[in-house]
Amino acid sequence: MDNFNMTFMNYNKPSILRKMLLVFLGFGFFMGISFPLFANLFVEWKEGMLAWFVLSCIIAGISIGVFNYWLLNYMLLNRLKRIGEVANAISNNDVSHNCSLISFDFIGDMANSFNLMSENLRNMISQISDVSSHLNQSANEMVSVTHETQNGVSRQQEGTQMVVSAIGKMTNTVTEMSNNTFAASEAAEKANTATHDGSMVVQDTVSSI
């Protein structure tokens, strides 16, 4: 009944169901018109009876058309509706649904195709989840290695700075020692000069005596 109402709600839009209903009604109307014409060849009508018979045949034909549409809706469209629900769920990223429809024809093949597609999507999602888990684990390991490398580089930089500082201190010490040696050399030279001068004074003194 819902499909019957939906068939005429959006009459401005194309609808296969509406076309099917109109075909059934048209066929019923055609049979309702044709049957009295065919029966007229074999039946002698009483006065006024033919019109009522034609009207009854038309009503019966239209009723048969409506009944055929309802039967098609009950036997086929409701099952196709289940396939549509599964397809709609898959389009909304919900692959947990299956279509429990058993029919050894193209409708059953369609349902099996949707079930197979849903199963393949579930397997694909599971594989993607596993790969993502491995990638996260690898990323965590890489971050850990990076931190260790950074710590090693920091320790190496600290050691290098200590070596540079020690070399600087040694350079300062060598420079200071060099300066002290130079000062001692100058002092020794001055002492030597003073000694020589003193020796000359002594010699002059001795000579004058």
Residue 4: what pLDDT?
46
Q: Which residues of the chain have pLDDT under 50?
A: 1-5, 7-9
Residue closest to 17 by CA, chosen among 28, 32, 2: 2
The whole-angstrom separation of Cα 54 and Cα 35 is 8
Residue 58: what pLDDT?
87
> Who's near 29: CB < 8 A, 6+ residues apart?
58, 61, 62, 65
Residue 138: what pLDDT?
83
Residue 12: what pLDDT?
66
Residue 35: what pLDDT?
82
Residue 8: what pLDDT?
47
- Single pTM value for the model: 0.45
Angle between helix axes 106-208 and 78-91 (nearest 10 degrees) is 10
Residue 207: what pLDDT?
66
Sign of CA dihedral 141, 142, 145, 146: negative
